[in-house]
Amino acid sequence: MTPSGDRTNSVTNNSATFLMSNMIAQAPDNNQGIWANLEEYSRTLVGQGKELYIISGGYGMGGTGSNGRFYTIANGRVQVPNTTWKIIVVLDNPGLGLAGVTTRTRVIAVNIPNMQGVRIANWRNYRVSVNSLESLTGYNFLSQVSTSIQSVIEAQVDNL
């Protein structure tokens, strides 16, 4: 789910963003509106000198696009998720990687309905904790972060 605009340093890297392994079925209002606004906000953070680590995906079945509600498309070969989620770990000091993650590290997590009608919605209204996304998906995000730090940053809901 890496946007093409974020991989412009080479034709090869940009082309990889158009592979099905980098895509999920998104409603136009989700993809072109609220999701695009969150991507633009992420670019703003990078422009401020931040380093971002991003994890994203979809959950459930049954999104509602411009042609109605679908559970699958492409003759059943592509599942349409009910929501799209994203976790953005914001590092203030680029280059430190895992060592730069502390209990004060900003983590933005969202869970957005995959449906029409959210185009002009504010992504901030869909902020959740990483813990809630872990409960929803069954994944263990940020598992390389020490458990003492992880327990703090995964429980918080971003408010900036």
Token reading at 53: 């680590």
Residues 6+ apart with CB under 8 A from 118: 27, 29, 30, 33, 34, 112
Name residues whose C-beta falls within 8 Å of residue 16's C-beta, 6 or more positions apart in sequence: 2, 7, 22
Q: Quick check: 114 and 30 in contact, CB under 8 A? A: yes
Note the helical H segments in the chain.
11-16, 28-29, 35-47, 130-137, 147-153
> What's the DSSP call for residue 150?
H
159 annotated ligand binder:
no
Positions at the binding site for Mg(2+): 31
Positions at the binding site: 31
